Homo-oligomer: A and B are copies of this chain.
Amino acid sequence: MRTDYVHGYSEREEARLLDQASTLSDLLHAGTRYPDGARVLEAGCGVGAQTVTLARNSPGARFTCVDVSARSLEAARARAQAAGLGNVAFEQADLFDLPFREESFDHVFLCFVLEHLARPREALAALRSRLRPGGTLTVIEGDHGSTFFHPEDADARRAVECLVTLQDRAGGDALIGRRLQPLLAGAGLREVVVSPRMVYADATRPEWVQGFTLDTFTAMVEGVGDRAVAEGLVDAAAFARGVAGLRRAAGPEGVFCYTFFKAVAVR
């Protein structure tokens, strides 16, 4: 169910997703720990960008990690093996046709998955049914519309909007982070608690400037440039100015802000 339109499966993209996780993992995974013996489903594990952190943080839990892409799973398996994880099993599966009985998991975790789906609520309902009553569902998503920066730059804003438009055209929603609460509640989950997690990067935080503003966000925007131009969303010169604007936000006088949303809910 994952589109490879905006987040492709090229090696460069893969590196970006993994970089993102290693830079952001403390921020995103804070608070997610599962007890020994817990059966946890990671839905849409992709190349395993979150899997290693997830499994290391809960060494006594047993993870089943599924993805629709065999190629992504292969990368995820290699990564889990390299990390020496002994509590993770991988399985190829479609979120809308899961090969698991109802109530077979204590917890479900998914990160950067719903943004790609045309029917996120239905996906959540399908995942909910695999949870035992009282089990939790944890969702992490970004929201490209949460992006703002200094210095202000209209071209940079337009370049970010290209990302949103492309994801929309591919059937996804790059603004999904902000609406996790109504989405989860609408899928029948209860006690939804959302915690926004803002990345704030200024010159006093060089590791975030490099790791997030440049290597994660700006790289992601750059990665859709050709497509944005090909689809007539922007001309190449304006897009290049936009990327340059994002780089200025990573400069000595620059500031960059982006917000991820993490929701935890109960079946």
Interface presence of A233 (CB below 8 A): no
Q: Is A143 an interface residue when CB atoms closer than 8 A count as contact? A: yes
B194 to A196, Cβ gap below 8 A? no
Q: A181-B202, A181-B255 are in contact. List 18 more A-B contacts (CB 8 A).
A: A143-B148, A146-B257, A148-B175, A148-B178, A149-B178, A150-B175, A150-B178, A181-B204, A182-B202, A182-B203, A182-B253, A182-B254, A182-B255, A185-B203, A194-B202, A194-B204, A196-B257, A198-B198
Instruction: Type the 1/0 row for A181-213, where 1 means its CB is closer than 8 Å to any CB of B.
Output: 110011000001111101010111000000000
Q: Which residue of B lies closest to A195 (CB)?
A: B200
State the A residues within 8 Å of B (CB). Answer: 143, 145-146, 148-152, 175, 178-179, 181-182, 185-186, 192-196, 198, 200, 202-204, 253-255, 257, 259
Which residues of B sit under 8 angstroms from A204, Cβ to Cβ? 181, 192-194
Q: Is the CB of B146 within 8 A of A145?
A: no
Interface centre among A146, A150, A200 (most CB of B within 10 A): A150
Q: How many chain copies?
A: 2
Residues of B near A181 (CB, < 8 A) are 202-204, 255
Minimum C-beta distance from A147 to chain B (A): 9
Q: Name the CB-closest residue of B to A263.
A: B202
A143: which B residues are within 8 A, CB to CB?
A: 148
9 A-B contacts (beta carbon < 8 Å): A143-B148, A145-B152, A149-B178, A150-B175, A150-B178, A150-B182, A192-B204, A194-B202, A196-B200
What's the Cα separation between A194 and B208 when bound, in Å? 14
Residues of B within 8 A of A185 (CB): 203
A175–B249 alpha-carbon span in the complex (Å): 14
> Taking the nearest CB of chain B, how far is it from the CB of A248, in angstroms?
12
Given contacts A143-B148, A181-B255, contact A196 B198 (CB under 8 A): yes
When C-beta atoms are compared, the residue in chain B nearest to A185 turns out to be: B203
What's the nearest-Cβ distance from chain B to residue A94, in Å?
Answer: 28
For residue A203, which residues in chain B have a CB less than 8 angstroms away from its CB?
181-182, 185
**Residues of B close to A178: CB separation below 8 A:** 148-150, 255, 257
Which residues of chain B come closer than 8 Å to A150, judged between CB atoms? 175, 178-179, 182
Chain B residue at smallest Cβ distance from A145:
B148
